[in-house]
Amino acid sequence: MKQPIFRGAATAIITPMNQNAVDYEAFARLIDWQIAEGISAIVVAGTTGESSTLTDEEHREVISFAVKKVAGRVPVIAGTGSNDTEYAKELSVFACEAGADALLMVTPYYNKATQNGLIASFTAVADVVNRPIILYNVPSRTGCNLQPKTCRALSEHPNIAAIKEASGDIAQIAETAHLCGDNLTIYSGNDDQVVPLLALGGQGVISVLSNVLPAKTEAICRKFFEGDVQGSAKLQLELLPLIHALFSEVNPIPVKSAMAHMGYAENRLRLPLTPMEKEHEQALLREMRAQGIRV
């Protein structure tokens, strides 16, 4: 049986930027606030952290900075996936040496590997690291679906410990849970499906929503674990309008806007991402105010 890397809500944290550089002062303040709000882990340099447009140097600096700033208060999970397996290996080894507690590895995008190719690629990385790996299945963005039987094969590797499931396919996730059991921890990758995945034995969520509402996102999980399933579901449903607003445009466009309005970062994104359309932004602000967020 493999132990969960964390239990609760982990924030897939934004990477604050000013002009064309990472704003480390804002990043430090954001990390401290997240931990003070009770979040269970921090995920850096993932999709929400705009890893695809960070330079190699920035990617490494963001990981190192987060590890030093968190200073062991919660686990730090570093996004190190790539469609180039050799680069993923190099970055993953670096993250381990920098002190990351775990690695988040997305399925290779654009290449659209076969299931055998996915097994070979993830195994190649797992063989060279000394930290647990969280597989990341998000076929809507990668064009590649990590199937349950593939998860079962990968879960046999001692360094492959978990999966962030953002396929949205509950039946598929249930099959993965059935096949892998305690050998693969399941985390929701969709904020609107946290409770269903917890009901299937999931141990938490890697969340975009928690950038904005860390305490309430954590509470969805905590209530469920404490046996208050009805309270957990009630909170999940209350937050649905805000969750939908945070995904009214491709992530992380809306959450970057939200965090700017909250004063935690400038509303800066790197092309090809552009600032949120005004109509969507106004709807997002309405939902934020409805949750008591000052904007």
Instruction: Specify the number of domains making up the chain.
Output: 1
33 falls within a domain: yes
270 falls within a domain: no
CATH assignment at residue 147: 3.20.20.70
b/e per residue 29-58 (b: at least 16 CB within 10 A):
bbbeebbebbbbbbbbbbbbbbbbebeeeb
Catalytic residues: 136, 164
86 falls within a domain: yes
289 falls within a domain: no
Measured between its terminal Cα atoms, the distance across the chain in Å is 45
Q: What is the pLDDT along the chain (295 residues), one digit of tens a residue?
A: 789 999 999 999 999 999 889 999 999 999 999 999 999 999 999 999 999 999 999 999 999 999 999 999 999 999 999 999 999 999 999 999 999 999 999 999 999 899 999 999 999 999 999 999 999 999 999 999 999 999 999 999 999 999 999 999 999 999 999 999 999 999 999 999 999 999 999 999 999 999 999 999 999 999 999 999 999 999 999 999 999 999 999 999 999 999 999 999 999 999 999 999 999 999 999 999 999 999 8
Residue 37 has phi, psi (to 5 degrees) of -80, -5
Position 131 scores a pLDDT of: 98
**DSSP per position, 173-188:** HHHHHHHHGGGSEEEE
Strands 17-18 and 21-22 turn out to be antiparallel
Domain that includes residue 190, residue range: 8-224
**Do 268 and 19 form a contact (C-beta atoms < 8 A)?**
yes
25 falls within a domain: yes
265 falls within a domain: no
**DSSP per position, 225-283:** HTT-HHHHHHHHHHTHHHHHHHTSSSTTHHHHHHHHHTTSS-----TT--PPPHHHHHH
Position 262 scores a pLDDT of: 97
With a CB cutoff of 8 Å and minimum separation 6, the contacts of 125 are 80, 85, 88, 89, 92, 103, 105, 133
Rounded CA gap, 204 and 9, in Å? Answer: 5
17 falls within a domain: yes
284 falls within a domain: no
Cis peptide before 272 (omega within 30 of 0): yes
Rounded CA gap, 293 and 266, in Å? Answer: 17
**Do 75 and 103 form a contact (C-beta atoms < 8 A)?**
no
Helix or strand run (H / E) with residue 136: strand 133-137
Q: Residue 14's closest CA among 42, 41, 37, 56? A: 42
Two tokens at 234? 């009630």
Q: Residue 115's closest CA among 163, 140, 148, 87? A: 148
